[in-house]
Structure 1
């Protein structure tokens, strides 16, 4: 059953706050390699996809709601950092924070719509199902690109494995049939290559 507009509006603000706040808590207290997921842009993109998937229909509604979700999560993350480890409150309105919010708008629109596509039919459904896996695979490729860098040690290998496993898992959970799962995983590979290029173009290394 599709949630109505009031439920969506009532859920997006607390969901965005929890995403940012709990993300910092995860980074702070969960040991590596799983703690590294707290620094994952792909995980936030998957959260936007999940919100669009929950909304079920209405691409505009999903795009706006998922973008708001990620925008709210950014200052919430820095609020957690200030409360838990006494970081400077000024970071909340620093230029870097607004840059992350801009990334959040782009990712929220793309993956929020992708979440609604996952309930559609034909190629659109496969593309929607492939998106969350693709962004996790793209981030896995980013981790693999760091192998051999002295600042990372063996962490990139574990991070890449975890991202890849999560990419397969999220597709398996969102799809309703094995054929959909196989097609979505296959479609996620070229999308992941495009995503990897986009990560590099955006300055992720």
Structure 2
């Protein structure tokens, strides 16, 4: 049986992984075609990255939460560093108020989804909720896209985003679950969690 990662290894992966997440996210947005490239603008995708970190840590939920939060916080300035280096954006964006706001969201999302990653490997109700959360956040964001369909600024384009995120949500639940029973229960649990997540997105000002 593989031993759980050591503290230093977890910290290193959090920092390096966070830097790569932010930098490559910008590259993804800039060079990949729509709608796949638009996944780089997805907060849910970053939440799933935090979940994957917690899933890799395996045990020690607070260690997973701290590492995932650090990773998402590091990813924010890394994204703006990539923007400055690749397309000449202003370096001040690295420490701008909007950057700090996204870092605060990163702490919250990293904590929740980092813990969810460890729960997915647990037993009982935690395994179900843990496996459900990454799918739920993608479904919630798909719900946001559905709300935008037909609006003058969006047209029909959000439909493709919604379908892509729904498909990814199903895939993540399938991969996170270790048994068919866990996958089925997680998928059923993801639906009410997605509705709660959609409400949270709207309350946070996402439209």
Aligned residue in 2 for 1:165: 167
Aligned residue in 2 for 1:124: 126
Task: Provide, for residues 25-58 of structure 1, a one-character-per-residue CA deviation record: whole Å limited to 9, x for no partner.
Answer: 0000001011110000000000000000000101
Aligned residue in 2 for 1:103: 105
Rounded to whole Å, the distance in 1 between the matches of 2:181 and 2:99 is 41
Gaps spanning 5+ residues in structure 1: where?
A: none
Aligned residue in 2 for 1:60: 62
Root mean square deviation, CA, Å: 0.6
Rounded to whole Å, the distance in 2 between the matches of 1:67 and 1:12 is 8
TM-score norm. by structure 2 comes to: 0.98
**Residue among 2, 25, 28 paired with 2:27:** 25
The 5-angstrom pairing of residues 114-193 of structure 1 reads 114-193=116-195
Moved over 2 A (4+): none
CA positional deviation for 1:59: 1.1
Rounded to whole Å, the distance in 1 between the matches of 2:134 and 2:62 is 19
CA positional deviation for 1:78: 0.2
Rounded to whole Å, the distance in 2 between the matches of 1:63 and 1:8 is 11
TM-score norm. by structure 1 comes to: 0.99
Aligned residue in 2 for 1:92: 94
Aligned residue in 2 for 1:36: 38
Rounded to whole Å, the distance in 2 between the matches of 1:173 and 1:120 is 15
- Does residue 195 of the first structure (1) align with residue 197 of the second (2)? yes
Task: Provide, for residues 92-128 of structure 1, a one-character-per-residue CA deviation record: whole Å limited to 9, x for no partner.
Answer: 1110000000000000000000000001101110000
Deviates more, 1:167-176 or 1:130-139: 167-176
Structure 2 SS opposite 1:181: helix
Count of aligned pairs between the two proteins: 205
CA positional deviation for 1:202: 0.5
